[in-house]
Amino acid sequence: MEKKVTVPYPLNICDEDRDKYLPHLSYTLNEQRVKYLKNVFVTSSGFCMNNKGLIKECHHNYPLQINDYRNEAAKCYYDAVDNPENLIVLDDDKTYLTIHHPWFNYYHWICESIFRLWMVRKKLDTLILILPEYYRDADFIMGSIEPFNIKNIFFVPNGKSVLVKNLCLPQIKPECDSYNGMHVRQIRRFYSQYVFTVKPVITNRIERLYVSRKLAGRRAIINEDEILTIIEKYNFDIFYPERHSFLEQVAIFSQVKYLVGTHGSGLTNMLFMALGTSLLELHKNKTNELDHPSPLFWYMAEALGIKYYHQLCDTYGREDYFEGDYMIDAKIFERNLLSMLSD
């Protein structure tokens, strides 16, 4: 079943930018299903195969990438055939659960894998979660599943695949930039209740927050010192996600009223911001892969009931979607900041 979701323009849109957003004022939300399957080959990166081939519920629906998915899954399969020691057979009568996938980073785990976990939250006592061994060392993985109180996790040694007799497979979102509004609001409430009621996390209350990518290693702001002068002028705290645990970030962002940052994983934490708060996203005017700004956080803001402001920025160096550095027009930035704060 498909549903059409309509999204308004950014609140500070100007006439010259309307054409960039006009074709993207709606998107299709596809219903996600939970499948129970027999005799499934699961790669360490989360691809799932059976005797019919790659199972569509385990990967995104991007036609240009399907062959890459198949090739990676096939590579793992033939590695297991040629090297039987790299295959773990789980042929007991227990049901295993898979929610991870190849794009191992903060956004895709929190806004895709956790959503899959949410779909089966009432059945977790009957399931064994499968995770790659190296996930055990990632705070945002283990911290984000802590509130679910998962009793059984099977960690797959690095470089190995598993053959599962009984598998529960919640479907991944067919497209990254789509959101089940009910789910995102439920998850926001679930985590906020955990860090304030179930297991209180003590943090300083911050209402105005600027997320810096200074420690991220890519997509830096070339003139960030100039931007920080403006940020500090309006009493924003500078935030480095790398210095905080996942649950600390939940507690901090649950109290943020105004958020500013460049497009990237750091804005994922808007998931925990309350209804009626505001976001100013700094993102790229145009890239090699996209001829329009990414709608990822624009759509997410709408699903959460967060007021969305934007600023299109020039990029330098490697000007592709993932790597190019930003140059931010400081005068326009201050104007946009004031627009958000005056609402």
Of 38, 39, 35, 41, whose CA–CA distance to 54 is shortest? 41
Between residues 230 and 265, the one the model is more confident about:
230
The letter for the amino acid at 326 is Y
pLDDT digits 0-9 by tens, 166-216 = 999 999 999 988 999 999 999 999 999 999 999 999 998 999 999 987 766
Is 90 exceeded by the pLDDT of residue 219?
A: no
Is 80 exceeded by the pLDDT of residue 289?
A: no
Is 90 exceeded by the pLDDT of residue 339?
A: yes
CB-based contact 219:324 (threshold 8 Å): yes
pLDDT interval class at 1 (50, 70, 90): confident
pLDDT digits 0-9 by tens, 11-21 = 999 998 898 89
What pLDDT was estimated at residue 294?
A: 82
Tokens of 92: 């007991």
- What are the extents of the domains in the chain? 2-28+179-341, 33-170
CB-based contact 285:19 (threshold 8 Å): no
- The partner residues of 27 in beta bridges, in order of sequence, read 5
Half-sphere CA count of 87, side-chain side, radius 13 A: 17
Distance CA 116, CA 114 (A): 5
> Could you tell me what percent of the chain has a pLDDT over 90?
77
pTM for this predicted structure: 0.93
Distances (CA, A) of 283 to 81, 103, 330: 45, 21, 14
Q: What are the residue ranges of helices labelled H in 126-204?
A: 139-145, 181-193
What H or E segment, with its residue span, contains residue 34? strand 34-42
Of 291, 275, 301, 327, whose CA–CA distance to 9 is shortest? 301
Distance CA 335, CA 343 (A): 13
Distances (CA, A) of 72 to 46, 61, 65, 214: 10, 16, 11, 33
Of 12, 18, 11, 10, whose CA–CA distance to 332 is shortest? 12
* Angle between the N-to-C axes of helices 181-193 and 296-304, in degrees from 0 to 180, rounded to the nearest 10: 70
Distance CA 196, CA 202 (A): 8
Q: What is the mean pLDDT of the chain?
A: 92
Distance CA 36, CA 57 (A): 11
Half-sphere CA count of 163, side-chain side, radius 13 A: 13
CB-based contact 299:27 (threshold 8 Å): yes
pLDDT digits 0-9 by tens, 6-55 = 999 999 999 988 988 999 999 999 889 999 999 999 999 999 999 999 99
pLDDT digits 0-9 by tens, 163-172 = 999 999 999 9
Q: For the CA atoms of the chain, what is the radius of gyration?
A: 21
Taking the alpha carbons at both ends of the chain, their separation in whole angstroms is: 37
pLDDT interval class at 221 (50, 70, 90): confident
Distance CA 309, CA 326 (A): 17
Is 60 exceeded by the pLDDT of residue 284?
A: yes
CATH number of 2-28+179-341: 3.40.50
pLDDT digits 0-9 by tens, 59-116 = 999 888 999 999 999 999 999 999 999 999 999 999 999 999 888 899 999 999 999 9
Is 80 exceeded by the pLDDT of residue 290?
A: no
Tokens of 23: 């074709």
What pLDDT was estimated at residue 178?
A: 93
Distance CA 192, CA 133 (A): 28
pLDDT interval class at 264 (50, 70, 90): confident
What pLDDT was estimated at residue 286?
A: 64
pLDDT interval class at 287 (50, 70, 90): low
What pLDDT was estimated at residue 327?
A: 85
Is 90 exceeded by the pLDDT of residue 161?
A: yes
